[in-house]
Structure 1
Amino acid sequence: MKPSRDRKTREKPAHGQNRAGHRQSRPAKGIAPPPATHDVPREDRHTQPKAPARPVIRRQGELPAERLPVILEVAPNDDYALLDSGDGRKLEQYGPYRIVRPEGQAIWQPAWPQKEWDQADATFTGDTDEEGMGRWRFPKAPLGETWPMKHDGIDYLGRFTSFRHVGVFPEQASHWDHMAALITQANRPVKVLNLFGYTGLASLIAARAGAEVTHVDASKKAIGWARENQEIARLTDKPIRWICEDAMKFAEREERRGNVYDIILFDPPAYGRGPKGEVWQLFEDLPALTDICRSILTPKPLAVVLTAYSIRSSFFAIHALMRDIFADMGGVVESGELIIREKSAGRALSTSLFSRWLAK
Structure 2
Amino acid sequence: MSTDQTTDDGGAPDDDGIDIAFEAGGGLSDEAVAEEMIAEFSESWKVVDDLDGEAEIQNFEEWDVHKNIVRDLEVTEDVEELVVPPSKAPSEGGEYVRAAERYEAAPAEFEEKTVDFVDFGGARVETCTTCSGSGDVTCPKCSGTRKMSCPTCSGSGRESCSACSGSGTLRCQTCGGNGSVGSGDDARQCRDCGGAGKLTCRDCNGSGDFRCSNCGGSTEVVCDRCGGSATVTCSTCEGEREVYRTTQGTLEFEPDEGYNLDDDRGAKFRWFRHKTGDRVDIETVADGVPADPDDDEPTVYREEVETRAIRTRKVSYEYDGDSYELFDVGGSLHADSYPKSAARKVVPFVALALVIALAAGGYYYFAVM
TM-score tier, shorter chain, comes to under 0.3
Higher strand residue share: 2
Structure with greater helix share of residues: 1
What TM-score do the two structures reach when normalised by structure 2? 0.15
**If you compute each CA radius of gyration, which structure gives the higher value, 1 or 2?**
2
Higher relative contact order (CA 8 A, sep 6+): 2
